[in-house]
């Protein structure tokens, strides 16, 4: 019986279609990752620096003067003499005195009834001040108070809120500008009201207004005082018709009003007697606007 030999095929190692597709996919993915990294690196290196933060400018006033004064006047006095640091009147007497002894003791007998013996000590006064000058005319400035001239903000500004808006809308206006209400209670206590849009506003108490540095305003007319009373009632704070109610303005809002007042007509603050503001809706909030100004001259 003969045996037939069978031939076995030699195994061959080669890439399949699956292997080729997988390798191309991995290479494409790695390339995309590398490209994204390069793009992010280029974006970071070419990013513009942040703009410098501007420092808000606060307008500081030193109001004063009298109602019938003149604009641009000060209490400084001009003089033709050269200006010196320690100027003083030329007729100012010094504290030092020289004593001269009078020696005349003999008078004629015929004049003894009408003449007096001259004073024994004669005081000689010398000038010790330095002649000089200071700037100004010496006249009082226009306005109220002892300062350089003008009316202070709390006496010059009048803010009008919408009369037709309800109490809730009025509360949103106050809270938008950061205005806090205050009521002077018996025994000198001061009740502060905040979170005005809440169902029950937050209230805190202080023993008087010591340490309060914010500008405040009080009601001079209008019907909005009743809305303040309603807000205090929501916080279970009892106020009466004769209770003094204040609006405390934060520094940011005060600076905003000062800038609007100055930009309205570009008039010097010492010449402005009254500035009237109104609250208007602006987008999702509110804004102040100047509606009128009254000047001294």
Give the pLDDT confidence of 277-296 residue by residue, as tens digits: 999 988 889 999 999 999 88
Q: CA torsion sign, 262 to 267 to 272 to 276? A: negative
The CA distance from 84 to 92, in Å, is: 16
Closest Cα partner for 174 from 206, 201, 207? Answer: 201
pLDDT of residue 217: 87
Can you read off the two tokens belonging to residue 200? 């029950």
Q: Which residue has the higher pLDDT, 29 or 186?
A: 29
* 168 and 254, same domain (yes or no): yes
User: Average pLDDT in the 57-85 region?
Assistant: 62
Q: Which residue has the higher pLDDT, 211 or 193?
A: 193
pLDDT 10s digits, 212-249: 888 888 888 777 788 999 999 999 998 888 888 999 99
* 171 and 286, same domain (yes or no): yes
pLDDT of residue 201: 92
* Range name among 74-78, 192-196, 266-270 with the lowest pLDDT average: 74-78
End-to-end, the C-alpha distance of the chain in Å comes to 142
The CA distance from 148 to 256, in Å, is: 23
Closest Cα partner for 191 from 241, 248, 253? Answer: 248
Q: Is the per-residue pLDDT at 56 higher than 90?
A: no
Domain that holds residue 186: 164-295
Q: What confidence category does residue 96 fall into, taking pLDDT thresholds of 50, 70 and 90?
A: very low
* 175 and 274, same domain (yes or no): yes
User: Average pLDDT in the 46-58 region?
Assistant: 71
* 129 and 168, same domain (yes or no): no
| Residue 143 within a domain | no
Closest Cα partner for 73 from 264, 208, 294, 271? Answer: 271
* 202 and 287, same domain (yes or no): yes
Number of compact structural domains in the chain: 2
% the chain with pLDDT above 70: 63
pLDDT 10s digits, 4-21: 556 666 666 777 888 888
| Residue 212 within a domain | yes
The CA distance from 114 to 69, in Å, is: 56
pLDDT 10s digits, 148-176: 567 788 788 889 887 777 889 999 999 99
């Amino acid at each position: 019986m003969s045996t037939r030999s069978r031939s076995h095929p030699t195994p061959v190692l080669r890439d399949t279609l699956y292997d080729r597709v997988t390798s191309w996919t991995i290479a494409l993915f790695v390339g995309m990752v590398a490209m994204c990294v390069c793009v992010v690196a280029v974006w970071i290196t070419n990013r513009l620096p942040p703009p410098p933060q501007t420092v808000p400018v606060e307008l500081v006033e030193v109001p004063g003067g009298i109602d019938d004064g003149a604009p641009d006047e000060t209490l400084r006095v001009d003089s033709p003499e050269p200006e010196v640091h320690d100027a003083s009147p030329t007729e100012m007497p010094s504290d030092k005195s020289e004593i001269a002894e009078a020696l005349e003791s003999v008078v004629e007998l015929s004049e003894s009834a009408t003449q007096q013996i001259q004073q024994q000590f004669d005081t000689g006064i010398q000038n010790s001040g330095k002649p000089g000058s200071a700037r100004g005319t010496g006249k009082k400035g226009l306005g109220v108070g002892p300062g350089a001239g003008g009316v202070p903000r709390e006496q010059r500004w009048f803010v009008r809120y919408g009369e037709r808006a309800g109490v809730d809308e009025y509360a949103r206006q106050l809270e938008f500008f950061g205005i806090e209400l205050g009521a002077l209670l018996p025994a000198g206590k001061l009740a502060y009201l905040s979170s005005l849009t809440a169902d029950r506003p937050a209230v805190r108490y202080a023993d008087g207004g010591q340490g309060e540095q914010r500008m405040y305003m009080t009601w001079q007319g209008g019907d909005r005082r009743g809305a303040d009373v309603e807000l205090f009632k929501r916080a279970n704070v009892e106020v009466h018709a004769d209770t003094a109610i204040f609006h405390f303005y934060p520094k940011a809002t005060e600076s905003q009003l000062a800038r609007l007042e100055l930009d309205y007509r570009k008039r010097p603050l010492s010449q402005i007697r009254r500035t009237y503001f109104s609250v208007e809706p602006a987008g999702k909030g509110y804004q102040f606007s100047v509606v009128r100004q009254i000047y001294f001259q």
